[in-house]
A and B are shown apart, each in its own frame.
Chain A
Amino acid sequence: MLRIFHGTKYDFIKPWRIAVGLTVAFIAIGLVYLGIHGINRSIEFTGGTLMQLEFTQPPNVADIRTTVDAAGYPNSEIQQFGGSREFTVRAAGHAAVNGAAVENTATQIQAALERKFGATNLKVVRTEIVGPRVGEELTRNAIIAILLSLVVTMIYLAIRFEWRFGVAAVIATGHDLLSTLAFLAIMRLEVSLTVIAALLTVIGYSLNDTIIIFDRVREDLKKNRTDSLYVVLNKSINETLPRSVLTHVTVAAATLSLLLFAGEVIRPFSWIMLFGIVTGTFSSIYVAGPVLLWIERKWPRARADKNLASRAAAMDASRSEPRAPVASTR
């Protein structure tokens, strides 16, 4: 049989400081980006008008720009969308020219473009008009959704496992949120509702990964009562390694197909998912693990026996003397 990463005994937890350092640096860079550029929010959140145009011939972008400007919507964003014949026009603001109703913006821009390029040479394939209130509601709902999903999973894990595991898993997921946000900022991806959905899927996926490792830890803790948590954690990660690799490969295969073939609309979603696989895997090992160890040391479990001392000692050993735990993993 074809096996990969079988019977490994890597000490995953040992370099956790380096790993945490790297991820903190990445998040910091992302947040700096965020501070400079702000979040690139989609029309759903900002309000305004978005039109997707399909031309029969590749048009001159400058012509589109001047036409839209002349129609009374300067500072509109004009972007190529997919092929060279497709463009999006995004007009800011909620009111059309002359204080007319918001829904007239698209009509006016379309009329201007048809005058310039000829009505038969372009087609408006998509129009989105969003009033200001809708955007506010969506932003609020998106934030509630993300926070609520974290709370709900924490409660579930606290019931099924133990509060330590719940807290560690949620902190790992919180990390994924932050690093995905950093990724968003660095890639300048547009945050739309679909991207929020991807973000929540990343939360689910990363939790999934953490839970599978924690499930093994739960099992191994029952079996090997004398081993320190540090040892058990490392052992569990190694035992689940083949599964992790294979699952990530299949999910990455699906995500890559989406990224490459599913078209422009889904692309930001695919990017987030692809990054989510990476950060989810990373955080299951390097965030959830160390946090669990840290909680264990800070609030040792009630059935305090000598295990506890050895567990805490192992954590300390890993801090002061990095090689010690390797010896203890059989």
Chain B
Amino acid sequence: MSNLKYRLAIIVALVLLSVYALYPRDVKTRQRRADGTFYDTTTRRVPLRKGLDLSGGMHLALDVDESKGVVANKSEAIDRALKVVRTRIEGLGVSETVIQKAGNDRILIDIPGIDNRERAIKIAQDQAFLEFQITDKTKGLERSLPRLDAIARERGIGQSASTVATTSAPSAGLSGLLTGTDTSAAAAAKADSAKSDSTSIPSITGGAISKRILAGQMPGQFLYDIADQELLKSFFADSAVLAALPPGKVVKFGSDSTLIQNKTYRFLYLLDARPIITGEYLTDAKPNSSPLEGTIVEFQLNNEGGRRFQRETGRHVGDYMAIVLDDIVMGYPPVINSAIGTRGQITMGQGRDLQSAQDLSLVLKAGALPVPLKVAEVRNIGPSLGRDSINNAFKAGAIALALIIVIMLVFYRFSGFLAIAGLGLYVLYTLATLAAFDAVLTLPGLAGFVLSIGIAVDANVLIFERIREELDRGKTVRTAIDEGFFHARSAIVDSNVTTILTAAVLYQYGSGPVKGFAVTLIAGIVASMITSMFVVRTFFLLWLNRSRGPQTLSI
């Protein structure tokens, strides 16, 4: 009797624990207002986490991108990148994001409820390497043009397109920009006597490159026809071309375009390779808009960065400073009028809205990625599909449960009823275990759960069949029940442990939804063993006690 009391106490305790684990509680979530600021809100709900395939959202896997150079210590680089990505994604203000490292060189990001795939990818993946570089004042590109043209001739670049090029430089005035803006250009060209013809008469007889590049309005700035973009980009990525540039100078492309005589031109810059300052000193960035420059991002540097910035800008008064983000010159390089302290601003390119400024501030504040990342996997599930999946799974689960209840009642009558009562507790325990371990419910997980209901009755069936056999041998009801439970135990334990082992392997080597499946399966099996061998047995003992040594058992 006292044994029975303990048993009942344990069952009640388990039920209470389960109810506690599943009790709806307040969950704090960060929400984003329309203006981009955040606020915390609390919602009340059952603490079962839904996977992305049920809640809708995006799963993103990012790998180290080694296409632009081998990364030496990938694992360590990924650790640092992880911090940056985490700050950025959490800044998005979506609740319950999961950002983790997988293996040595991958970052996994789960963002529930996000609908804009490209935006999320951009925020996670943007390198956000910010540099301030002074535009070249030494006519470096002009001096290099003969060599560049020679390289272009060697490679056979732009020969076939020469007719297009001549028509694209229709007026002498435009091509004159190159030499006309400063007479010293001609002088520089003469110094390069052997091939000076190509720079002094650029429009027709000039090489493929000098034909395509026009001087801009500030030193180091150039224009090119947007049609030549691909050609120039691949040309300036060539290592021989980079070697032909003056030492300590780099070519970078601009973000903006301009319209001259109904033709779209884009900007190209020759810059001092050494940045006067980089984004690592940046402490804050926020979007703003100004009537003059449109959308801008204001930033603030820390003290050390501020001192350095002041010193460098003081040295470069009168020069133009290019703000370079991920190798793209943002907006129009401003002239430095006087030394600048800890504050500055970045003019976003044309046609950028406030959201892109917000995203840029977010990315700048989080810092630059230490390594470039490339997208390895994207899984994007709409919220409606997730809802459908949940509804379908519930429908299938309810029908399965109804069928199983009917089968058990038809075959085992009263004992079947006890088994069903046990099954009810099984469902409760399983869900509670999932909640307690903060497991994620996925669609395969739900399917596994439905399946496990079918498998869970197996233990009961084993026990009941064994009790029937013992009764057939003429044992009393009480002995038959004891023997039945005792003899069925080894089969139940052995078969369930092997299933747990398989599920554990699945957990170790599976990913995403499949991991959810393995967790549900394990929780289900453990709960099934507890209910069939302990809970249902207690029900039997209770019944035996109540009916004081029954002669027959409805089984």
> Which A residues are within 8 Å of any B CB, using their own CB?
1-4, 6, 52, 54, 101-103, 106-107, 123-131, 133-134, 138, 141-142, 144-145, 148-149, 152-153, 156-157, 160-161, 193-194, 196-197, 200-201, 203-205, 207-209, 211-212, 215-216, 218-219, 239-240, 242-243, 246-247, 249-255, 257-258, 260-263, 265-266, 269-270, 273
B362 within 8 A of A: no
Contact B451 A254 (CB under 8 A): yes
Question: Per-residue CB proximity of B368-394 to A under 8 Å, as 1/0?
Answer: 000000111111111011001100110
Contact A148 B468 (CB under 8 A): no
**Which residues of chain A have C-beta atoms less than 8 A from B444's C-beta?**
194, 197, 266, 269
Contact A215 B396 (CB under 8 A): no
**Which residues of chain B have C-beta atoms less than 8 A from A251's C-beta?**
451, 454-455, 458
Check A207/B411 contact, CB under 8 A, given A125-B384, A145-B510, A257-B403. no
Question: Per-residue CB proximity of B450-470 to A under 8 Å, as 1/0?
Answer: 110111011001100100110
Cα distance A93–B518 when bound, in Å? 31
**Which residues of chain B have C-beta atoms less than 8 A from A124's C-beta?**
380, 382
Contact B397 A196 (CB under 8 A): no
Show 23 residue pairs from A and B whose CB-CB distance is below 8 angstroms, ordered by the A residue: A52-B385, A107-B117, A126-B379, A126-B381, A127-B381, A141-B509, A141-B511, A142-B509, A149-B506, A193-B514, A194-B444, A194-B514, A194-B517, A200-B506, A207-B502, A216-B491, A252-B454, A257-B399, A261-B399, A262-B447, A263-B392, A265-B443, A266-B392
**Which residues of chain B have C-beta atoms less than 8 A from A249's C-beta?**
407
Give B497-531 interface residues, CB cut-off 8 Å to A. Answer: 497-499, 501-503, 505-506, 508-514, 517-518, 521
Chain B, interface SS category: helix
**Which residues of chain A have C-beta atoms less than 8 A from B447's C-beta?**
194, 258, 262, 266, 269-270
- Most interface-central of B53, B413, B462 (chain A CB within 10 A): B462
Contact A207 B407 (CB under 8 A): no
Question: Per-residue CB proximity of B389-433 to A under 8 Å, as 1/0?
Answer: 100110111011001100110111100000000000000000000
Cα distance A38–B536 when bound, in Å? 48
**Which single residue of chain A is at the shortest CB-CB distance from B463?**
A243
**Which residues of chain B have C-beta atoms less than 8 A from A102's C-beta?**
375
User: 9 tightest CB-CB pairs across the interface, nearest first?
Assistant: A254-B454, A125-B382, A204-B499, A145-B509, A263-B392, A215-B491, A257-B400, A129-B378, A262-B396
**Which single residue of chain A is at the shortest CB-CB distance from B381?**
A126
Total residue contacts A-B, CB cutoff 8 A: 238
Cα distance A107–B375 when bound, in Å? 14
**Which residues of chain A have C-beta atoms less than 8 A from B494's C-beta?**
157, 160-161, 211, 215
**Which residues of chain A have C-beta atoms less than 8 A from B136's C-beta?**
none
**Which single residue of chain A is at the shortest CB-CB distance from B382?**
A125
**Which residues of chain A have C-beta atoms less than 8 A from B468's C-beta?**
1, 3, 6, 242
Check A266/B443 contact, CB under 8 A, given A200-B502, A219-B487. yes
Cα distance A126–B384 when bound, in Å? 10
Cα distance A193–B502 when bound, in Å? 15
Contact B498 A157 (CB under 8 A): yes
Task: For residue B221, give the distance in angstroms from its CB to the closest CB of chain A.
Answer: 28
Chain A, interface SS category: helix
B29 within 8 A of A: no
Check A204/B503 contact, CB under 8 A, given A128-B379, A129-B375, A262-B396. yes
Give B349-381 interface residues, CB cut-off 8 Å to A. Answer: 374-381
**Which single residue of chain B is at the shortest CB-CB distance from A154?**
B498
Interface size in chain B (residues, C-beta < 8 A): 77
Contact A208 B501 (CB under 8 A): no
Check A253/B403 contact, CB under 8 A, given A131-B377, A262-B396. yes
Check A156/B497 contact, CB under 8 A, given A208-B458, A251-B458, A258-B447. yes
B183 within 8 A of A: no
Contact A258 B450 (CB under 8 A): yes
B495 within 8 A of A: yes
Cα distance A128–B59 when bound, in Å? 9
Cα distance A134–B379 when bound, in Å? 13
Partner of A263, one of B118, B389, B503, B511: B389
**Which residues of chain B have C-beta atoms less than 8 A from A126's C-beta?**
379-382, 385
**Which residues of chain B have C-beta atoms less than 8 A from A127's C-beta?**
117, 378-381
Cα distance A261–B443 when bound, in Å? 13
**Which residues of chain B have C-beta atoms less than 8 A from A197's C-beta?**
444, 448, 506, 510, 514, 517-518
**Which residues of chain B have C-beta atoms less than 8 A from A204's C-beta?**
498-499, 502-503
Cα distance A129–B389 when bound, in Å? 20
Task: For residue B210, give the distance in angstroms from its CB to the closest CB of chain A.
Answer: 27
B226 within 8 A of A: no
**Which residues of chain A have C-beta atoms less than 8 A from B376's C-beta?**
130-131, 133-134
